[in-house]
Structure 1
Amino acid sequence: MKSRRWRFYVFVVAAAILLVTALGATAFFATDAGRNAYAEARNRSPQSLIRYTLRRLEGHPKLEWIAHPGLYALQRHYERTPPPGSLPTLGKGQQTTQVATPTADASATVRVDTEAGILDALFNAKPGTRIVIAPGQYRFNKTIRLGQDGRPREPISVRAIVPGSVRLNFTHTQGILVDRPYWTFENLDIRGACAPQEDCEHAFHVVGAAAFTTLRNNHLQDFNAHIKVNGLNGEWPDHGLVAFNTLTNASARQTLGSVVAFDLVGASHWKVQDNLVTNFAKLHGNRVAYGLFMKGAGESGRFERNLVICSPSGVSEPGERVGISFGGGGSDPGVCREDGCRAFEHRHGLAANNIVAHCNDSGIDVNGSSNIVVAHNTLINTAGFSARKGSTKVRLLSNLYEGHVSTQQSSLPEMEWNVKAEPATLFMNPDGLSFLWLDRPAGVPSRAFVTIDFKGTRREAITLPGALDERLP
């Protein structure tokens, strides 16, 4: 009898709390502040709202005890756990064979097989030199420096004959400082081996005068920002190419600094194509990590045909992971190009034919940027798209996605021919990155600036939304 009476009292108290909460919420949302809060909440993804609520509950054990089970259940619904085992690379990242045929017009070939030989060759190479590193492992406790400029018709190249046969291990802040134009690095395996881990910042740091840098078919692992690009002394390293590289980490980064696999600030006209970017997370500080971003008032950057997997496992681990971003987290005005980022973080950018998967935040984010086109991308198990902090003239065209289109302090993106759908209704095993069609969506008109798909297949006049095309009857 006492047990029944106790349960009855608990029920009455719980009902009273719910009633008071509902009445309080109704009264709050009738105010201007409440209406603003409601509008702001509607513009955020469910994933973002869940993380925000979990943070607000920290330090309140009784409320955590009540709310956590429901919040974690919601989180599991919106942030699915990828299947166990390795996910396929879908032909992206470092390839086992040559991606580009070496130029035949090298004026000299220098072969090196020691750490000292590598340092000497890169510092003394003349325009047109091809530096070939013998297979093996090489360890450096200082930054490798370049000594001379390459030229448009006489670039300087550094390469392994067999992709991945040369491993450069760095125990220093940055591996290779690229501050000269027309240099190419390809087929290398570069690893961060720092203790503590946070000391390994960059495999490549491309700065200042290093225009027309090419980074192709490399494997870069265990850095905070594997590739960092920024200005120096009023010069900007424009017109770079990053193609068929693997950017990854063996574990979450233990650092307070930025965690961004490709981190470009201020440079313009960079092409980032056919890369595999995976497993980037930040344990300390704000715990926000990015796969690829461009910011700092550069322009005309292109992210094309990349596979970005934020979290191959542990999607809901603490912190936020964003796939691709124009604007990133915003720039310090002191490191921005020309106008100090007052007008834009990046403009005239294009993100096309990318597949972004397993991110607990936005798959593609536009932050304080202008004239950005996001076309024919496929987003799997992410929070969707976001446009925030004054972004203008954002166009979402012919994308295939699940999730949310959120706007915060920005104008609503222009949207055409996008398809929002549960991927499991369209593909055989989307969470496992198997994209065999179960039910193809209706075709959409092709875009003149997106002529091929994720695999490099030519798109017809009528094509499919998303990154992957299949010729329609």
Structure 2
Amino acid sequence: MALSSYPPPHGRRRVKLFALALGLLLMLLALAPLGWLFGTARGQAVWEQANSRSPNELIRYTERRLQGHPRLERWLLPPLHALRARVEPEPPPGPLPDLGKGQRPEAFPPPAGLSSRLVADTPQAIREALLNATPGTQIVVAPGLYPFDATLRLGHDGRSDAPIALRAERPGTVWFSFTQMDGIRVDRPHWVFENLDIRGACARHGDCEHAFHVIGRGAQVGIRNNRITDFNAHIKVNGQHGRWPDGGELAWNTLSNTGPRDTAQPVVMLDLVGADRWQVHDNHVVNFVKRHGNRVAYGLFAKGASEGIRIERNLLVCTPGGISQPGERIGISVGGGGTDPGVCRDRTCQAYEHRDGLAANNVIAHCNDAGVDVNRGLDVRVVHNTLINTAGITVRAGSRAELDGNLVDGRVWRRDGSQVEQRGTTPLAQWLDPAAAAFLQWRWQRTPTDGPLAAGLSTDFHGQSRAGHYAPGALLP
């Protein structure tokens, strides 16, 4: 499909008339009560609430209000859907490029500190190796397909100078097929998992929850260069018995689903609760849709009174097709609402859901809700991200955030008394051709200028130095 044909034309006379009719009708319906309310405190609060929500959110709200009123639905849904098609353009057909993120065809070199090698070539041999491996052991899985129907468990701790690794020698040669709720339970420190292809194969989506469940004592885990497909929450991280799996690394993984998840369980590609100082970088996160329950799905999520996450240089595509299908998709959420106090690190989550987090140099595309959402987060930095066909950046629920150098096609939505320090938020079209950007291709409208570097951020999405070059967004021209 030619770039010039995206997005498809919506300027036909009938669509314009429908949109105009909808706007006039809604205005007439609103004017009478607003005329009375506007001079009151309640009226001002209503106006502030409406003005702090994205068009995407207001369209979904209007749809819900119309349900059960067939006559109104018959007249108002067609123009509402026409308006949505303009607000949420359908992603272009065909696969989008991975921009060099996610699992790479080249194997990562083995971690330092490995002193012995054990080859496993059957499911039972893999189980036994995970239980018996001692610090410094490299478990090398022979090429093949390995089905499992019960959780894989670890038997011993690794050490910082002698981790334990489960690896394939080359990506694309080892496949694990899981039909259990938890794939691998990581409750021991200093383990590394690399170069694997892991797929959920449950007949019922609710039965394939996690590929990795990192829990309690599972600190300093490394999950690198894997392809993980068809789970509800591919990577789940949480505490146990007062212990927290801090300091993990999730890097160069492809996290995806082949279709919507037919479940009411949380659909979150990384669901981190209460753990501190995780590094989440260079991953490709794509296609997360939740069909039941609240229908809200997330790409990368940190909450539960956690601290210090660094989410950098990731590519997230919420929906490569069907952007306006039922439900809501959010790219990155720092903080959260409604976490059960019993699973919060401080046992309350009252002060914050996440503190001192960073989301930087990420490319986030085709989400029908916020590309980045800061919800009950404190001292969160959102820096040099590029948001394409999303509802923009939301800062809410009393959060405190710093926004610097982001390139967005929506806008920043602040509400609930949140504090935002904002510099250099720039409309996408000022620097990039939006039609090409929808394909994750870059046609630059401007060249970099001299400008200050954001504190602690010296490179861009591809690792290029930003020294002497200023451009908003994740990438340098």
Contact 2:230 2:257 in 1 (8 A): yes
Give, in whole Å, the separation in 1 of the partners of 2:467 and 2:28: 58
Give, in whole Å, the separation in 2 of the partners of 1:456 and 1:189: 26
Pick which of 370-379 and 412-421 moved more: 412-421
- Aligned pairs (5 A) from 1:16-165: 22-98=31-107, 100-103=108-111, 105-165=113-173
Which AA in structure 2 matches 1:431? A
2:413 pairs with 1:406: yes
Alpha-carbon offset, residue 443 of structure 1 = 4.9
Give, in whole Å, the separation in 1 of the partners of 2:80 and 2:429: 21
- Aligned pairs (5 A) from 1:296-335: 296-335=304-343
Which AA in structure 2 matches 1:42? N
Give, in whole Å, the separation in 1 of the partners of 2:134 and 2:263: 38
Contact 2:398 2:419 in 1 (8 A): no
1:71 is paired with a residue of what secondary structure? helix
Pick which of 322-331 and 46-55 moved more: 322-331
Alpha-carbon offset, residue 246 of structure 1 = 0.5
**Cα deviation code 1:383-402 (max 9, x no counterpart):** 0000111212x000011111
1:248 to 246, 252, 256: 256
Alpha-carbon offset, residue 411 of structure 1 = 2.0
1:284 to 272, 288, 292: 292
Report the equivalent of 1:237: 245
Contact 2:390 2:410 in 1 (8 A): yes
Name stretches of at least 5 consecutive residues in structure 1 with no aligned partner.
1-14
Alpha-carbon offset, residue 423 of structure 1 = 6.7
1:291 is paired with a residue of what secondary structure? strand
Alpha-carbon offset, residue 61 of structure 1 = 0.7
**Cα deviation code 1:171-215 (max 9, x no counterpart):** 010100000000000000000011211110000000001110000
Give, in whole Å, the separation in 2 of the partners of 1:16 and 1:212: 57
2:333 is paired with a residue of what secondary structure? strand
1:434 is paired with a residue of what secondary structure? coil
Give, in whole Å, the separation in 2 of the partners of 1:410 and 1:17: 28
Give, in whole Å, the separation in 2 of the partners of 1:103 and 1:189: 19
Give, in whole Å, the separation in 2 of the partners of 1:345 and 1:110: 42
Pick which of 398-407 and 182-191 moved more: 398-407
Pick which of 419-428 and 184-193 moved more: 419-428
Contact 2:386 2:408 in 1 (8 A): yes
**Cα deviation code 1:380-428 (max 9, x no counterpart):** 0000000111212x00001111112112213241101221233785466
Give, in whole Å, the separation in 1 of the partners of 2:341 and 2:29: 47
Alpha-carbon offset, residue 70 of structure 1 = 1.6
Alpha-carbon offset, residue 339 of structure 1 = 4.7
Give, in whole Å, the separation in 2 of the partners of 1:429 and 1:65: 35
Report the equivalent of 1:5: none
**How many residues align structurally?**
454
**Cα deviation code 1:72-111 (max 9, x no counterpart):** 111111101111000000000000002x321464221000
2:386 pairs with 1:368: no
Counterparts in 2 of 1:423 and 1:330: CA distance versus 1, 3 Å: farther
Give, in whole Å, the separation in 1 of the partners of 2:211 and 2:28: 57
Pick which of 459-468 and 114-123 moved more: 459-468
Alpha-carbon offset, residue 38 of structure 1 = 1.2
Contact 2:112 2:162 in 1 (8 A): no
Pick which of 54-63 and 325-334 moved more: 325-334
Report the equivalent of 1:10: none
Give, in whole Å, the separation in 2 of the partners of 1:288 and 1:103: 37
TM-score, normalising length: structure 2: 0.92
2:442 to 435, 438, 451: 435
Give, in whole Å, the separation in 2 of the partners of 1:377 and 1:426: 16
Identical aligned pairs, as a percentage? 52
2:247 is paired with a residue of what secondary structure? coil
Give, in whole Å, the separation in 1 of the partners of 2:232 and 2:42: 40
Pick which of 409-418 and 224-233 moved more: 409-418
**Cα deviation code 1:225-279 (max 9, x no counterpart):** 0000000000000000000000000010111110000000000000000000000
Give, in whole Å, the separation in 2 of the partners of 1:19 and 1:237: 55
Report the equivalent of 1:208: 216
Give, in whole Å, the separation in 2 of the partners of 1:334 and 1:398: 37
Name stretches of at least 5 consecutive residues in structure 2 with no aligned partner.
1-23
1:206 is paired with a residue of what secondary structure? strand
| C-alpha RMSD of the superposition | 1.8
Report the equivalent of 1:338: 346
Counterparts in 2 of 1:313 and 1:20: CA distance versus 1, 3 Å: closer
